[in-house]
Amino acid sequence: AQSVAQPEDQVNVAEGNPLTVKCTYSVSGNPYLFWYVQYPNRGLQFLLKYITGDNLVKGSYGFEAEFNKSQTSFHLKKPSALVSDSALYFCAVRVPSWGNTPLVFGKGTRLSVIA
Amino acid sequence: GAVVSQHPSWVICKSGTSVKIECRSLDFQATTMFWYRQFPKQSLMLMATSNEGSKATYEQGVEKDKFLINHASLTLSTLTVTSAHPEDSSFYICSARAGSGRADTQYFGPGTRLTVL
């Protein structure tokens, strides 16, 4: 069975500083990994995904994530945080099979960027 | 980018009534739609997966007779909460995926907040 772990419930960072939101996964085979962001009382917005190829994936709003197979991690990063980045971030994985398999989500990490 | 809409964005109803939530993919055809439920400060819990023209597949513990899902077309899925009770109050989010490829991205609607009095 596949699973996703986001070890931090909350991450606080000062505006302008780099941010990292951690994610590790457990799947059989090659994972397809995703990051989504959720603002209050809103649905999830897609940020980026890793399927294959370059381990460093660039996404929306200046975010990027690095796939590390040996550490089974897919940490989300941004070089310089903005106050508007404050939101709930979800890492998700999909099993490597065809068909209608859904995303499996981590529990989420709340990012707070302080001015 | 792909846009998924939900209607209504919020609804308040009396206990015992039924509520229908619509999910539409606006600029793509969604062969598969998913319905999630989210409790405060928690992650998304998958309720069911539906394919256009066929019956939905419900996750363990989700009552199919209570949460009726219809995926009538490639752009519309509906979730009906029947005989709603206060414990059904939650944030319901739909998601749509185009195609069936492994790399296909799921796009999410803005969510519907249901409050049952």
Q: Best residue in B106, B112, B115 to probe A by mutation, most A CBs within 10 Å?
A: B106
User: Each residue of B19-37: pLDDT tens digit?
Assistant: 999 999 998 888 889 999 9
Nearest to A43 among B1, B32, B108 (CB): B108
Among B39, B35, B27, which Cα is nearest to B81's? B35
Closest-CA residue in chain A for B47?
A102
- What is the nearest CA distance from B93 to chain A, expressed in angstroms? 6
Q: What mean pLDDT do residues B54-83 have?
A: 92
User: Each residue of B101-115: pLDDT tens digit?
Assistant: 655 788 999 999 999
Contact yes or no for A76/A21 (Cβ under 8 A): yes
Could you list the mean pLDDT of each consecutive 10-residue stretch along chain A, which spans 115 residues?
Answer: 90 97 89 91 88 91 95 97 96 74 89 96
Alpha carbon A82 to chain centroid distance? 17
Give the pLDDT score at B39: 84
Residues of B in contact with A49 (CB under 8 A): 103, 105
